[in-house]
Amino acid sequence: MHETLKALLDHVGLVPLSEPKGMSGGDIASVSRLETAQGSVVVKHDDAERLAGEADGLQALREAGSSLYIPAVLAVGDGWLIMEALDASGSRRRDEVALGEGLRELHSVIGKQHGWSRDNACGLTPQPNGPAGDGRVFQRERRLVPMARACHERGLLPAVLRERIERVAGGLENWLEDVPPSLIHGDLWSGNVLFTPEGPAVIDPAVYRHYPEVDLAMLTLFGSPGEAFFESYWNGSGPDDWPRREALFQLYPLLNHLLLFGGAYRGAVERAVSRVEAG
Q: Would residue 119 show up in a list of annotated catalytic residues for this protein?
A: no
Cα-to-chain-centroid distance, residue 67? 18
C-alpha dihedral, 46 to 115 to 224 to 194, nearest 10°? 50
The answer to whether 208 and 116 have CB atoms below 8 angstroms apart is yes
Q: How far apart are CA 84 and CA 79, in angstroms?
A: 17
Q: How far apart are CA 47 and CA 33, in angstroms?
A: 19
Q: What share of the chain is helix, strand, coil (3-state, %, to 5)?
A: 45, 20, 35
Active-site pick, 56, 187, 204, 215: 187
DSSP letter string, 209-237: EE-THHHHHHHHHSS---HHHHHHHHTT-
The answer to whether 27 and 13 have CB atoms below 8 angstroms apart is no
Distances from the Cα of 275 to the Cα of 126, 143, 174, 230, 247, angstroms: 27, 18, 16, 21, 6
Q: Is 259 exposed, middle or buried (0-12, 13-18, 19+ CB in 10 A)?
A: buried
Q: How far apart are CA 80 and CA 29, in angstroms?
A: 10
Which residues are within 8 A (CB) of 100 and not within 5 positions of it... i.e. 6 or more apart?
225, 228, 229, 230, 231, 232, 233, 234
Active site (catalytic) residues: 187
